[in-house]
Chains A and B, each alone.
Chain A
Amino acid sequence: MTTLTHDRIGAHPPHAHGPTGLMRWVTTTNHKDIGTMYLIFSFMMFLSGGVMALTIRAELFQPGLQVVQPEFFNQLTTMHGLVMVFGAIMPAFVGFANWMIPLMIGASDMAFARMNNWSFWLLPPAAILLLGSFFVPGGATAAGWTLYAPLSVQMGMGMDMAIFAIHIMGVSSIMGAINIVVTVLNMRAPGMNMMRMPLFCWTWLITAYLLIAVMPVLAGAVTMILTDRHFGTSFFNAAGGGDPVMYQHIFWFFGHPEVYIMILPAFGIISQVIPTFSRKPLFGYASMVYATSSIAILSFSVWAHHMFATGMPAAGQLFFMYATMLIAVPTGVKVFNWVATMWRGSLSFETPMLWATGFLLVFTIGGFTGLICAIAPIDIQLQDTYYVVAHFHYVLVAGSLFALFAGAYYWLPKWTGHMPSEFLGKLHFWCSIVFFNITFFPMHFLGLAGMPRRIPDYALQFADFNAMASIGAFGFGLSQLIFLVVVLKCIRGGKKAEAQSWEGAEGLEWTVPSPAPHHTFEDAPVLAKA
């Protein structure tokens, strides 16, 4: 990726001869460089969060305490969540947005190229604060990734570091989101109407709105925790007239749209991959746009389904239950549209398509368990059990992560100029999907049998399924190293990729050479009338 092709005639502003070496990456304003840095950063965070997960699973391999102390176990579950959500999944999608949106809409770069650099470079400081908190007195925060009061009001310095890390990541996300909104609205090539945009751009546009709306709310929530901790306020203290449950309301007002922030861009990627390998246009494009918007709007009115067990009036339970189930409608529209796209298509199953098909199957299971959790009387039983852990790993790993892999294999030729190894890619897929299910499927049974989440030790009757899950987790973790090998091989060499790297691929990104030159579309392409 470091060899640049300067082949656009007269296409160079002075910085073609800008800083080289490390400083090139530190000072860059190029959307492709910044996208690459986002992707590398998120993979590093994915591995760090993965090591935490494997330590958790090692401890849970058998009952009793063998590997870590309970206090440290709680730090691990908390940090695993924070690192995966804010460090791995979200930045990975922003990396995709940076790389692909300008290429897809025929823009020369992001609308604010310099601010784009700042959005990225705020993430390593946030990661330093977050991961560094393991090494301060008292260790990292152990309040769970949701940082519920009053636990979060009581912890040591690690909690403050997590709060400031969240503030910094919030600044980064808001700037990144504004950049994406403006790029999509204002940087499209002539003829690229909104309803002609690739669906990935649509899903990111809507995701960016969600980010702008809810990241500031999270900042407000953790700010209140900070002032409760150090400045004597009583937001979450009943003795002073506040309410710890209020934290949950504010947090989940952020938290539920956050769920869609992590899945809508995944829907976008899947909507690019499936048509390519079905050799058919996406079925129901307009309905996909409306479904995505509906999900985003509904996501603001369902937050209390995370809190059925905290106690609320029956009317509240009913409202949040039905509002939540309503989301199944637009989500169903999407799933059926993908299936309809494949229906009677000329299908082939290269690695990206395998991941997309896997996504379709396994994410749908996660969607269904979500419906089950949404039913208030059932949720009272399932709250804080392993069933919930199983549910959100089906949507976050099999949903977001599998879609990220589908997208990575799909666009690796465009990024590196070489086709990824089909053999290794397929091995990666089959290992991942098998070990994923070995890990997380038994967790449904554990949860239904009553095993609580976030505990380092458990009753004997849960031993077999836990051992199974732990074996699966190590298999899944090791399988991810295959991906690292694929990417490194792809950067170094392999079969040359053509401009249109996949037979059925359509869109502006496939009209530029592979690897994409450092600067593309400096003069906007003009699209033929639809």
Chain B
Amino acid sequence: MTETLERYFVPEPSKFPILGAIALLLFGSGAAMWLNKVGAGPWVFFGGIAILVYMLFGWFGQVVRESEGGLYSKRVDKSFRWSMGWFIFSEVMFFAAFFGALFYVRVLALPSLSSGDNEALLWEGFTGAWPSSGPRVSDAFTPMGAWGIPAINTLILLTSGVTLTWAHYGLLKGARGQLKLGLLATVVLGAIFLTLQIYEYTHAYSELNLRLDSGIYGSTFYLLTGFHGLHVTVGAIMLTVMLFRAIAGHFSAEHHFAFEAAAWYWHFVDVVWLFLFIVVYWL
């Protein structure tokens, strides 16, 4: 087997990693200070975020230039594919922790609190029926229904998956207009989704009295949907960058992994939403 291997691209020394490290140091220490009411906290925190944004712009900008400059071979492309796949798997495991918490509470913790000695001696009369805010958080709330905004949001995300795939087909067959239009539609659908989520949160706080401190229902509801919303935001930003790159004439039918990575990520947040819709909103 005579495989001719071109040299694998090794980047030059870079200032961006250390900037990222400083950014996360400020981010972490600023958050710890802010939460404990140390005056400079917010300044340090937002300083860290500012450096992080600068670093991400610079770093990804450099990656884009290297890619467009033809430095990335097929083998580098394959590395990107492996790494994006495993990165998404790590995100799946992050969500698994919160889904696991939801299942644990519904299947084990609440039934245990509402039966046997716990019910007889500690939490008399507690039924543990879902949705529950627990035996001692008595502020009544209305749970979030599935068939209003959440169902519409499900349709929006599913449609955005279709528009994104349509954009990808456009890219593959060289129809640049279809690529741009599809990306634009996907980003707009993502933005509508996020707007509706924000509306839903304000509705929950102002009318349903469903809040972050509404016991375990509020905890799981807001953490799961909140982290999902954060990921949709990141995905939408990624797709917006892809849109601008498409407008700038980047990507070819053979060489466009950045687009695919963003698409993988978008489908991932899509699938997470389907699980959320079923176990958080519906059942």
Contact = CB atoms under 8 A, between A and B. Distances in A.
A241 B132 contact: yes
A114 B219 contact: no
A124 B213 contact: no
B137 A234 contact: yes
Interface in B1-20: 1, 3, 5, 7-8, 10-18, 20
B124 interface: no
Most buried by A among B24, B27, B82: B24
A522 B11 CA distance: 13
A357 B133 CA distance: 57
A309 interface: no
- Say whether chain A's binding surface is mostly helix, strand, loop, or mixed: helix
B89 to A, nearest CB: 6
Interface in A171-194: 171, 174, 177-179, 181-182, 185-187, 190-191
Nearest to A14: B12
B174 interface: no
B28 interface: yes
A24 interface: yes
B252 interface: no
A234 B90 CA distance: 25
A28 to B, nearest CB: 6
B215 to A, nearest CB: 4
Contact of B218 (A191, A233, A243, A250): A233
Interface in B191-209: none
Interface in A242-270: 242-243, 245-246, 249-250, 253
Contact of A111 (B83, B216, B219, B223): B83
B interface residue count range (under 10 / 10 to 19 / 20 to 34 / 35 or more): 35 or more
Interface in A452-467: none
A15 B10 CA distance: 10
B97 interface: yes
Contacts of A224: 97-98, 101, 219, 223
A232 B215 CA distance: 8
Interface string A102-131: 000001110111110110011011001100
B232 interface: no
Contact of A117 (B17, B82, B108, B135): B17
A238 to B, nearest CB: 6
Nearest to A158: B32
Contact of A524 (B5, B14, B211): B5
A111 B44 CA distance: 34
A84 interface: no
A interface residue count range (under 10 / 10 to 19 / 20 to 34 / 35 or more): 35 or more
B94 interface: yes
Interface stretch (A210-218, A321-329, A499-507, A509-517): A210-218
Contacts of A242: 105, 109, 134, 215-216, 219
Nearest to B130: A241
Contacts of A132: 29
A246 B109 contact: yes
A241 B18 contact: no
Contacts of B28: 125, 129, 161, 164-165, 167-168
Contact of B10 (A29, A177, A191): A29
A522 B7 contact: yes
Contacts of A160: 31-32, 35-36
B16 to A, nearest CB: 7
B22 A125 contact: yes
A458 B222 CA distance: 45
Contact of B94 (A122, A186, A191, A219): A219
B82 A182 contact: yes
Given A164-B29, A230-B35, A233-B212, A182 B79 contact: yes
B13 A28 contact: yes
Given A212-B86, A240-B133, A241-B109, A29 B94 contact: no
A157 B32 contact: yes
A125 B8 CA distance: 31
B25 interface: yes
Contacts of B132: 241
A444 B112 CA distance: 36
Contact of A164 (B14, B32, B137): B32
Contacts of B10: 13, 29, 108-109, 113
B173 interface: no
Contacts of B31: 160, 164
A227 interface: yes
Contacts of B100: 249-250, 253
Interface in B84-135: 86-87, 89-91, 93-94, 96-98, 100-101, 104-105, 108-110, 112-113, 128, 132-135
A442 interface: no
A233 B223 contact: yes
Contacts of A234: 133-134, 137, 213, 215-216, 218-219
Most buried by B among A125, A212, A215, A223: A125
Contacts of B112: 243
Given A129-B29, A161-B29, A240-B216, A235 B101 contact: yes
B44 to A, nearest CB: 12
A241 B132 CA distance: 7
Contacts of A115: 17
A15 to B, nearest CB: 4
B273 interface: no
A235 B97 contact: no
A241 B105 contact: yes
B97 A243 contact: no
Interface string A400-417: 000000000000000000
Contacts of B215: 234, 240-242
Contact of A27 (B18, B22, B101): B18
B136 A239 contact: yes
A129 B25 contact: yes
Contact of B97 (A18, A165, A216): A216
11 contacts: A15-B12, A29-B10, A186-B78, A213-B93, A216-B97, A224-B98, A233-B223, A234-B216, A238-B135, A242-B216, A246-B105
Given A108-B8, A246-B105, A523-B7, 8 more contacts: A29-B10, A108-B10, A109-B8, A114-B17, A117-B14, A234-B137, A234-B218, A523-B5
The 7 A-B pairs at the shortest CB distance, nearest first, are namely: A220-B97, A241-B134, A232-B213, A164-B28, A241-B216, A125-B25, A118-B17
